[in-house]
Structure 1
Amino acid sequence: MLSASRYSSSGASACSIWRRETPSRIGISAWRCTSCRMVKTSDGGTRILPKIGAMRPDYAGGSLVNLVASIATARGARARHAPLADFAIDERVRNIVLLIIDGLGDNYLARRGAGSELARRRRRSLTSVFPSTTASAITTSYTGCTPLEHGLVGWFTYFGAAGCVSAALPFRSRGDMALLTTRGVEAEQIYDTPALFPSLAVRSIVVTYRDIVDSHYNRVHCRGAERLAYRNADEFIAQTEQAVKSGDERKFVYAYWPHYDAISHRHGCESREAAGEFAQIDAAFGRLIARLAGTETLVIATADHGFIDVAPEESLELPAALAPLLRFPLCGERRIAYCHVHSPDEFAKRAADWLGSRAEVM
């Protein structure tokens, strides 16, 4: 969903296992303080991996990376990728606010968002990145690079500098969850893709949740930007408003809302808890728009990826016959597992025999 409002690795052999799931699509909503044009576009996209119905991200002009490229160009930077097609941004606008609602995909908005502020202002859908997961997509939004370029290709990643499989965003080793600094590794050694903010010709401000505002990940990826923390929806609105109104210079404000994603992981995206969280961020979006009226601000709201619920009986557990072939614990995500193995051909054969039509082995 995209709404706009105007006012790696060690060198070990690896196989990948892709679960059968619906491709992730996000949408975009737009608001402008003077008017709002509604534009409908076709989804497009190219399907790959026929067993699982996966969709290739449209990096040529229809994905999250292209939205970031459009914003970067409008704020005076040289983008690494093509701009978002059919979504012009007036470079003369004083402020641009990018509101990322983690996990709030376009399918959810279509199913559950009737009458919402976000649905009313929906402009178009986008593809996410591959893999369509927080670690990869949020890093794309911070850098303007695809996951292949920035290297964070899943929640769990093998970092050669640390010598272990690690949770990429928390900067902790898998298993004991100790900070990687206890292994003598600094965040700059892991997160080595330049952040977007220093390249912009405007003042940059990041508004994010207090529990992560000073994380190792954010300190590196928010270089070149001021960081403001919030505890709840009221503070989120207040801090974003303050960021926009703090000075007359041109600005880029990056506002991040992680809670819908966290609740959907915990309770499921079709749960009452997720519906309540959607109602809260939708109301906050509407209140923010009202507070920014007359400030020459373009507000762009989007997800980084979407969600589907998977029943417990559809989850796959690695069989004992495959475990001895692994060099490290599984990397990536439950739906896209990266396997660092001793014998790639043997592992791929055993995995394909076990999985059958339930997943792709590459």
Structure 2
Amino acid sequence: MYLPDYDGGSIANLMASLARACGSWASPCPPLAELPPARLAAVSNLVLIVVDGLGYDLLAERPGPLRPYLRGHLTSVFPSTTAAAIPTFMTGLPPSRHGLTGWHMWLREVGALLAILPLSARPGAPLAEPLPPRAELPQRLFRHDTLYQTMDRTSYVVSPHFIADSPFNRYHSRGAVKQPYHGLDGLFAALGQLTAKAGRKFVYGYWPDYDSAAHEHGCRSPQALAAMDAFATAFCAWLEQIRGSDTLVLITADHGFIDCPPERQIALADHPLLAECLALPLCGERRAAWCYLKPGKAPVFEAYVRQHLAHAARAVPREQLLAEGWFGPGPCHPELAARIGDYALLMADDWVIHDTLPGEAPYTLIGHHGGLSPAEMRVPLLVARP
């Protein structure tokens, strides 16, 4: 297992450096030693670009135009997934504090199992009560400030147009100016316009296309590599355009990737005795699944995993995850324990586990993340000073 390094080597620590450089002490984690806040504070334009899914291992093994800017690697958070990491980028808080723990989350505040980024109910999952309108959910579910609300310089959030005005993004962009864009050219056009503005500023940009291709086709597929190469080419051209500006650009990612072949994808329906132990559908991620058990089923659950799935998974009780600080330093979000089930099923090697609910369209992914392999946990740190 490759656990997060919240003591000084994770994306949470990167955000601590950036926050303190911008006059904010919102992050509870220490800053990165290699990026001291005083060095960052001296720059007029601080730009952070998050390339969704771009793992360090993939970048390090391929020569290309990004390699000269590669300074090393950081760890993601746990679980290594967009739903837990993007809130860390936008708040400076580790998952222990912001309380967002995976794509699918059981949220007892509204009695529903939601996909947390689109804030949509999972088809076929139980609803304890009618779900409030999506626009009202952030105020019910989130209780954290954003970094931009606490910074002493103007902040901008540059997001794809199709998520820029979502309820999740609106909540996590509070205090910043939202800048939607269309396509890769639009991303760098927006970044160029913002860095040309007068004044000291922090700019956060997010690009999702590599992640989308890696999920569908595999993280080293021609489609995924083409997306990465397109980003690299556009990035280097943009650096030339802003050369001589007082700008520091940082690139990292929310998580890395591994490919999981069909024969390594475990369907819960093939293990009815295991499914019988569960009070709710699987939550979290296919590489790190939160399991909510029926009363008295813990011994049966543990024994089944040990006897039938030991080659592919280990069952870790919630109490161990919390006691060992896998989600980051405390004090923990008051709902954290309720959002990670009774056990985590942590998948080994390139195994995943999934369920399909009645009325839910089955889908198969090749590229996955969320687990604790080095390929999923290690993300790059690139630094450019054009």
Instruction: Check whether TM > 0.5.
Output: yes
1:169 aligns with 2:117: yes
Q: Percent identity?
A: 40
Deviation at 1:196, TM superposition (A): 1.1
Q: Is 1:109 the counterpart of 2:42 in the alignment? A: no
Structure 2 equivalent of residue 202 of structure 1: 153
1:158 to 100, 106, 112: 106
Between the aligned partners of 2:69 and 2:179, the Cα distance in structure 1 is: 27
The Cα of 1:158 is off from its aligned counterpart by 0.5
2:4 matches 1:57: yes
Per the alignment, residue 91 of structure 2 pairs with 143
Task: Say if 2:12 and 2:92, in contact at 8 Å, map to a contact too.
Answer: yes
**What's the counterpart of residue 352 of structure 2?**
none
Task: From 286, 295, 316, give the equivalent of 2:266.
Answer: 316
2:28 aligns to what SS in structure 1?
Answer: coil
Query: Residue type of the partner of 2:150?
Result: S
Which residue, out of 339, 345, 352, partners 2:299?
A: 345
- Which structure 2 residue ranges, 5 or more long, are not aligned? 317-386
1:94 to 44, 57, 64: 44
Partner of 1:360: 314
Q: Name 2:375's counterpart in structure 1.
A: none
- Which of 320-329 and 271-280 deviates more? 320-329
Whether the 8 Å contact between 2:157 and 2:178 is mirrored in structure 1 is: yes
Correspondence list, 1:58-97, <5 A: 58-78=5-25, 79-88=27-36, 89-97=39-47
What whole-Å deviation, never above 9, does each CA across 1:300-347 have from its counterpart, x for those lacking one? 011111011111101112211122221111001111000011122322
Q: Deviations over 1:52-82 (max 9, x none)?
A: xx11111111110000000001111113210
In structure 1, the residue matched to 2:182 is 231
User: 2:242 maps to what in 1?
Assistant: 292
What code does the residue aligned with 2:251 have?
A: A
CA contact (8 A) 1:131 1:153 kept: yes
The one-letter code matched in structure 2 to 1:346 is V
The answer to whether the 8 A contact 1:117-1:285 is kept is: no
Q: CA RMSD in A?
A: 1.8
Which residue number in structure 1 is paired with residue 207 of structure 2? 257
Instruction: Please list the CA deviations of residues 256-283 of structure 1 after superposition, one character each: whole Å capped at 9, or x if unmatched.
Output: 0011111111111111100110011111
C-alpha distance in 2 between matches for 1:67 and 1:74 = 11
* CA distance 1:273–1:163, change in 2 (3 Å): same
Q: Give, as a single letter, the amino acid of the residue that structure 2 aligns with 1:348.
A: E
Residues 69-97 of structure 1 show CA distances to partners (whole Å, capped at 9, x for unaligned) of: 00001111113210012223331111100
The gaps in structure 1 that reach 5 residues or longer are 1-53
Q: CA deviation at 1:359?
A: 1.2
Q: TM-score, normalised by structure 2?
A: 0.76
Query: After the TM superposition, which of the residue ranges 345-354 and 304-313 deviates more from structure 2?
Result: 345-354
Alpha carbons 1:268, 1:274 under 8 Å: kept? yes
CA drift of 1:180 comes to 5.0
Q: Distance in 2 between matches of 1:180 and 1:67?
A: 36
Q: Is the 8 A contact 2:218 2:259 kept in 1?
A: yes
> Contact (CA 8 Å) 2:103, 2:285: kept in 1 or not?
yes
Cα offset for 1:183?
Answer: 7.9
Output the amino acid matched with 1:109.
L
Are 1:217 and 2:179 counterparts? no
Structure 2 CA distance for aligned equivalents of residues 292 and 275 of structure 1: 26
- 8 Å CA contact retained: 1:93, 1:296: yes
User: C-alpha distance in 2, partners of 1:265/1:339?
Assistant: 23
Partner SS state of residue 211, structure 1: helix
Partners of 1:171 and 1:180 within 8 A in 2: no
Structure 1 contact 237–287 (Cα < 8 Å) conserved: no
CA distance in 2, matches of 1:185, 1:280: 38
Answer with 173-182 or 55-64: which moved more: 173-182
Answering whether residue 68 of structure 2 is matched by residue 120 of structure 1, we say yes
2: distance between equivalents of 1:192 and 1:261? 28
CA distance in 2, matches of 1:90, 1:231: 29
Per-residue deviation, 1:124:
1.2
Can you list the C-alpha shifts for 1:83-129, whole angstroms capped at 9, x where unaligned? Answer: 012223331111100000000011111223x0x22212111111111
CA distance in 1, matches of 2:299, 2:202: 49
* 1:349, distance to aligned residue in structure 2 (A): 2.1
Once residues 202 and 134 of structure 2 are traced to their aligned partners in structure 1, the CA distance between those partners, rounded to angstroms, is 36
For 1:85, the aligned partner's letter is A
Residue equivalent to 1:307? 257
Letter of the 2:213 partner, please give it.
Answer: I
- 1:235 partner letter: G
Is 1:99–1:302's contact at 8 Å kept on the other side of the alignment? yes
Q: Secondary structure at the match of 1:345?
A: helix
Q: What's the counterpart of residue 331 of structure 1?
A: 283
Partner of 2:365: none
**CA drift at 1:151:** 1.0
SS of the residue 1:93 aligns to: coil
Aligned length: 306
CA contact (8 A) 2:112 2:131 kept: no
Preserved CA contact (<8 Å) 2:134 2:167: no
TM-score computed with the length of structure 1 as normaliser: 0.81
Deviation at 1:185, TM superposition (A): 5.0
CA distance in 2, matches of 1:193, 1:180: 22
